[in-house]
Amino acid sequence: MGNADSDTCLAPVDVVVVGSGIAGLFLAVRCARSGMKVAVVTKKGVSTSSTNWAQGGIAGVLDVDDIEAIEAHVLDTIESGAGLCDEVVVRSVIREAAMRIKDLVEHGVRFDRKEDGGFHMAREGGHSGARILHSRDRTGQEIERALTKVASSESDAEFRILEDWMAVDLIQKSHGKPGDGVCGIWCLNTEGEVWTLPAKVVVLATGGSGMMHKATTNPSIATGDGVAMAHRAGAEIKDMEFIQFHPTSLSVSRQKPFLISEAMRGHGAVLMTIDEYAEWGSSSSSNPGEISFMRGYSELGSLGTRDVVARAIDRELKKSGDPHVLLVTEHLDREGLRQSFPTICSKLEEYGIDLGSDPIPVTPAAHYMVGGISVDSMGRAIIDGTPMPGLFAIGEVACTGLHGANRLASNSLLEAVVFSERAAERIIDEWGGGSLRDVSDNLPKWRADDLDTLVEHAPLRTDLEALRTTMTQDVGIVKSNSRLDRAERRLEHIDKEVSRTWKRCKPTQDLVELRNLVIVSKMVVSASKKREFNVGLHYNLDLS
């Protein structure tokens, strides 16, 4: 499944899927099984995706007749979304959960089971009950393992997985208007060559944009590529002010943040400040929840929704000047914890932290892009209020209306698989009915064919660093008008530098990613400036 040879890999396909996480692979397999010619383009290896890093799981009610349980999931989603969810989308996605989870199981995904054979359900922040299927604390890895295996077994001349190829831009017809739609992608190989890949349908499944921030739980591929490409092609982008910070990433000096799953708080772990932990040590209380600062912020205590918990931690850290808060687990059954969270346990051991005995230092980190490419109920990208011919978006890159102003934990894998199925069904129907447009022979040429100036890497790294510093300092959990103005000025400056380089130099993956990050960061700032009230993940001091 390595790189295909460039003569064949760039032959026209029916569908090109950009991205190889749960959304992309699920759709690709479905389309390939219907007989379509499919290419999956992924800028690193096939399993280098945000899905692979997901610890928690997939939320869903398995008994389709349990109306009460389904309604509770609907209400928790709407409550977490702070009134901005599309209720029709919420209800339809949650009703579809059981079928899509069954599909995953049929694809070979092994979710944890109880002794009686039923699925073990975990609980996470904002959920009023336990309804999250998981595979220990490495659910994403398990889903990615199963889907990659299915995809490899499908792989043949009609279904290619192109690793180390990066989509650079969507191709629109020569002299066409944006509403005419897309007919393929330009993609960059490791030799620095840009090739044309004609396709009747392009599906963007590129994930999020966590790399905008210095501290993120995302892999380094999360550079907002899909949103930036769709924006350049004229598609509608929505709700970019809602960047979700995960409350608990491991905070160990100079190390990349590592996610400490919310399922651990679902299991009973409690957040405390350093002072509260000392106080608890000298008190007679066996329950750290009685002392935790989270009592003052949410009725659910440490299990409040992510917007509330991340903001509470941010406030406590600003008050105390401490570098982190603590996630306390020593009141819980040590063996049970270690069995449920083996990945986290061994990561903590690397830093000499003993799960179940030692408190875990945690801080919030950028985690999920709630906004994205505006899509309809079939995952079709929207332009000027109507579907854009030939362009779909699924997974984190899409904004479906499910999450509103704040995504409920573990609803994202569910959204990804539901919209992948719907998009696949729509594409297969159109293909079967012969209504997919033919890919024109007369595609425009990539503009940079003849550029031969090489990018200088040092200034590129400086610009990337400046962008991440700006977003971290000025466009984080708590924003203000003056910080947003400053971020806008700084990003404008970086944009000019990067655009100059882009016009002069041969593209490289780093340059394409930085160009995308600049666009997406500017969108986050501009959407934040437009939002006139504080809601969910958007919190501006000057509006409160």
User: Could you tell me the smallest distance in angstroms from the CB atom of residue 218 to ligand SIN?
Assistant: 11
- Least distance CB 204 / ligand SIN (angstroms): 20
Active-site positions read 306
The amino acid occupying position 320 is S
Distances (CA, A) of 454 to 115, 189, 451, 460, 512: 60, 15, 9, 12, 13
**What gap in Å lies between CA 229 and CA 226, rounded to an integer?**
5
> Which residue is nearest to ligand SIN, using beta carbons?
56
Least distance in angstroms from the C-beta of 412 to ligand SIN: 5
Query: Could you tell me the smallest distance in angstroms from the CB atom of residue 60 to ligand SIN?
Result: 13
Four-residue CA torsion sign, 246, 251, 257, 259: negative
| Closest to ligand SIN by CB, 262 or 463 | 262
Structure tokens at 273: 């400040």
User: Which CB, 122 or 535, lies closer to ligand SIN?
Assistant: 122
Task: Give 374 or 412: the residue with its C-beta nearer to ligand SIN.
Answer: 412
E-strand stretches of 464-516: none
Sheet of strand 270-272: strand arrangement? 258-259, 243-250, 360-369, 325-328, 270-272
Residues at the contact surface with ligand SIN, assessed by CB under 6 A: 54-56, 261-263, 409-410, 412
Q: How far is the CB of 132 from ligand SIN (least distance, A)?
A: 8
**What string of DSSP letters covers 257-279?**
PEE--THHHHTT-EEE-HHHHHH
Q: Which is nearer to ligand SIN, 126 or 224 (CB)?
A: 126
Of 171 and 402, CB closest to ligand SIN: 402
Tokens of 196: 């044309």
Residues 322 and 272: beta-carbon distance below 8 Å: no
Nearer to ligand SIN, 223 or 410 (CB): 410
| Number of residues that make up the chain | 544
Taking alpha carbons only, the member of 219, 226, 198, 196 closest to residue 392 is 226
236 in helix, strand or coil?
coil
Given a contact cutoff of 8 angstroms between Cβ atoms, the answer to whether 94 and 63 are in contact is no
